[in-house]
Amino acid sequence: MVKKLSTDSIWEMLKTIPDPEIPAISIVELGIVRNVEFDNDQLNIIITPTYSGCPAFTFMKEEISRHLELREITNYQIKTSLAPPWTTDWMSDEVKVKLKEAGIAPPSNEVICPRCDAPTVAVISEFGSTACKALYKCNECSEIFHHFKQI
């Protein structure tokens, strides 16, 4: 069973798992999946946390397990790697567009309003509802929005 699987098909499967906190993007797009490889018959999935205390990380691991088991893949290990540390630089431009469409300002040193594109924004809180986001307000259109913190 396992031998017939390719790493490509595993990557495709992982791309269907949404980030539990930001469902507009997948866990692959978030950049936490670092590698997928077969060691003989065993599938190894290497993932890295965004923030060391992110409570969604455990949930993501459980979701990966659930998806694998739905496909009757049982010989696998999900391993955590810490270095190199996760960075928002791993997000592609397409992912940044998806974030903006979901109303979240993508990671950048120059935060602009995701609703009206105005650059005149103010920080409300350096910390948001999840570890990876900060809270901003647009001085132009008054929209309150999250910024995906650039790290």
Residues near another protein (CB under 8 A):
49, 51-55, 81-86, 124-129, 131, 135, 149, 151
Burial (CB count within 10 angstroms: exposed 0-12, middle 13-18, buried 19+), residue 90: middle
Instruction: In angstroms, give the least distance from the CB of 60 to another protein.
Output: 14
Question: What is the identity of the amino acid at 61?
Answer: K
Select 26 or 88, whichever has its Cβ closest to another protein: 88
* C-alpha dihedral sign at 48, 52, 58, 60: negative
C-beta of residue 69 within 8 angstroms of C-beta of residue 101 = no
Select 44 or 80, whichever has its Cβ closest to another protein: 80
What's the rounded Cα separation, in Å, for the pair 33 and 73? 18
Instruction: In angstroms, give the least distance from the CB of 122 to another protein.
Output: 12
Contacts of residue 71, Cβ cutoff 8 Å, sequence gap at least 6: 13
Instruction: In angstroms, give the least distance from the CB of 8 to another protein.
Output: 28
Select 10 or 21, whichever has its Cβ closest to another protein: 21
Structure tokens at 90: 């791993």
Instruction: In angstroms, give the least distance from the CB of 131 to another protein.
Output: 6
Select 68 or 130, whichever has its Cβ closest to another protein: 130
Contacts of residue 85, Cβ cutoff 8 Å, sequence gap at least 6: 48
Instruction: In angstroms, give the least distance from the CB of 134 to another protein.
Output: 9
Select 76 or 86, whichever has its Cβ closest to another protein: 86
- 3-state SS, residue 12: helix
